[in-house]
């Protein structure tokens, strides 16, 4: 893992479409792009950095501006991301075990099918030091062609060789700090 302050490269680039409304065109136009970077600024949504087909780099697109197809489901910022970023330092990681697994995701008020892309792990902010607040953010591609960024308690993974019937359990947050000295 690499520590990023403010911006970093994705574990692997993603081919996406960008809604024209976010880059100065009509909302019903979608433009091919390569999503390759991510930016974190406290109090804001994750910012996506893309290379547009024309060769221009566009920075800090909100996650609901991107889609993995040209006819995606309608989407809002609340569908795309549960909480604003709360720090500027993070690490991006793809868990080998989760790579390519499908999931059930709670995004806003709906449950959706999705596929795991990678995880953003905040580092060095006040929340990551509190056991009950420490979160990793899963980036997932929904079955409807959109991106959603959810904490681990809003994602259920399907592993055909291990999981039985995915179901939401009332798991409690860890409130303890453990130390061996």
pLDDT tens-digit profile of 13-36?
999 999 999 999 999 999 999 999
- The neighbour count for residue 76, using CB atoms within 10 Å, is 10
In 3D, which of 87, 169, 163 has the Cα closest to residue 125? 87
- Residue 84, helix vs strand vs coil: coil
**pTM: predicted TM-score of the whole model, two decimal places:** 0.91
Res. 172 pLDDT band, cuts 50 70 90: confident
């Amino acid at each position: 893992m690499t520590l990023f302050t403010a911006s970093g490269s994705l574990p692997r680039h993603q081919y996406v479409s960008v809604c024209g409304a976010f880059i100065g065109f009509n909302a019903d136009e979608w433009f091919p792009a390569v999503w390759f970077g991510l930016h974190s600024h406290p109090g804001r949504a994750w910012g996506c950095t893309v290379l547009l087909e024309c060769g221009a780099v566009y920075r800090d697109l909100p996650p609901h501006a991107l889609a993995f197809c040209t006819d995606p489901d309608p989407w809002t910022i609340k569908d795309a991301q549960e909480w604003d970023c709360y720090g500027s330092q993070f690490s991006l990681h793809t868990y080998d075990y989760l790579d390519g697994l499908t999931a059930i995701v709670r995004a806003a008020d709906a449950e959706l099918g999705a596929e795991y892309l990678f995880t953003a792990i905040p580092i060095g902010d006040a929340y990551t030091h509190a056991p009950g607040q420490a979160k990793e953010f899963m980036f997932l591609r929904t079955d409807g062609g959109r991106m959603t960024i959810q904490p681990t308690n809003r994602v259920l993974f399907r592993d055909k060789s291990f999981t039985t019937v995915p179901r939401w359990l009332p798991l409690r947050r860890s409130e303890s700090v453990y130390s061996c000295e």
